[in-house]
Structure 1
Amino acid sequence: MNYSYDLMQAILWNRIDVQSVMDIAVVPIQGGVDAYKSFSDGSSKKFVINPNGYLKNS
């Protein structure tokens, strides 16, 4: 808990690239089925579905 405030501030101020640290992939809504299949097959990647295109890297 001692580092949670500092970690939160680093994320909020873009001092840390959360996507690369946590192995996150932002996918468009059309890629949801493939992302789910990959996750279901055992991929360690986390997928964020971006239905409206507002997030980067989709």
Structure 2
Amino acid sequence: MGLILLEALGALLLLVLIVWWTMFAGRKGGEPPAREDGGVPTAAPTKKSEEKSP
């Protein structure tokens, strides 16, 4: 009985560590700042030279 409880405690501890790691191990600088117009920030801004001209 004690061995089952010890194994359950170990599994619970592993679950808590995995959840903690995924919650708090993010980007070093945090999330990128929000835009002033309320939109979602893009990953990389587009350059004018990359756009096709007619």
In which range does the TM-score fall when normalised by the shorter chain? under 0.3
- Greater percentage in strand: 1
- Greater percentage in helix: 2
Higher RCO by CA contacts (8 Å cutoff, separation 6 or greater): 1
Which has the larger Rg? 2
TM-score by length of 1: 0.22
